[in-house]
Amino acid sequence: MQNNLGIRDDLDVLAELSDWTGKQVLDVGCGAGRLSFGIALLGATVRGFEPDPIQAARNREAPAQDGVSLEEAGAEALPVRSDEIDVVLFSRSLHHIPADLMDRALSEARRVLKPDGVLVVIEPDIHGQFSQLIRPFHDETAVRAQALDALTRAQDEYGAVEELWFTTEFRFESFVAFRDRMSGLTFNEIAAEAIDRPVVRAAFEAGRVFDGYRFTNPMRVRVHRRPAAS
């Protein structure tokens, strides 16, 4: 893997990619807004869009932070005017978009970007340790491949593409903590019984370290730039 940045958090990588001061940013599929808040602290103004109505309702009730607005919207129909955004970010979210809407979502990103604006997509590699851990109860092989295919097709709408890699860590105190986290995701609806199986417990135990359990996963970063003259 070329341009491997080593073990990093998503926000660490984004901080290294750009000077965010004064940037207008969309965080598409923002979840609870962790990255939105972090990017705002780097100096950007961020609109986070979350399609899951349960998480979006929680976001509306959460304390406000300067420079961030969290809204309910899908990636395929962004409530944003054309040509006004500096950076559109999909962090681990593109593969959650229905396959028949991925192309439209990436076209929407291009529409809202300013000329020379940047699309940043972070996607987990399916062969990573954590991806293989969850595969018995949440196999994302097909949807992640579809996301990469959509990005390849999107190159016709964008200019040069830069690809970077980094490694992220997942840490848990116990199997119960892992099970409860994975079954508590509102956008996936994974039953605890599907997780608490011998094959998953065995794979989880392989991640034991002195202070709990640790799993790594390679992360692909694709940086697409909208042509300045488009």
In terms of C-beta density within 10 A (0-12 exposed, 13-18 middle, 19 or more buried), how is residue 119 classed?
A: buried
Cα 219 from Cα 3, distance rounded (Å): 12
Least confident of 5-9, 70-74, 94-98, 121-125: 5-9
Count of CA atoms in the C-beta half-sphere (13 A) of 91: 24
| CATH classification at residue 85 | 3.40.50.150
In tens, the pLDDT along 65-95 reads 999 999 999 999 999 999 999 999 999 999 9
For residue 1, the model assigns a pLDDT of 41
Maximum Cα interatomic distance, the chain, rounded to a whole number of Å: 56
Q: Which string of b and e fits 162-201 if b means at least 16 CB within 10 Å? A: eebbbbbebebeebeebbeebbeeeeeeeeeeebeeeebe
Which pLDDT band holds residue 188 (cuts at 50, 70, 90)? confident
User: Domain total for the chain?
Assistant: 1
Place of tokens 């990017």: 39
Residue 53's domain comprises: 4-125+139-167+218-225
Query: Which pTM value belongs to this model?
Result: 0.93
The reply to whether 212 falls in a domain is no
The reply to whether 87 falls in a domain is yes
The reply to whether 153 falls in a domain is yes
The reply to whether 211 falls in a domain is no
DSSP result, 211-227: TEEEEEEEEEEEEEE--
For residue 189, the model assigns a pLDDT of 81
Q: What percent of the chain is modeled with pLDDT above 70?
A: 97
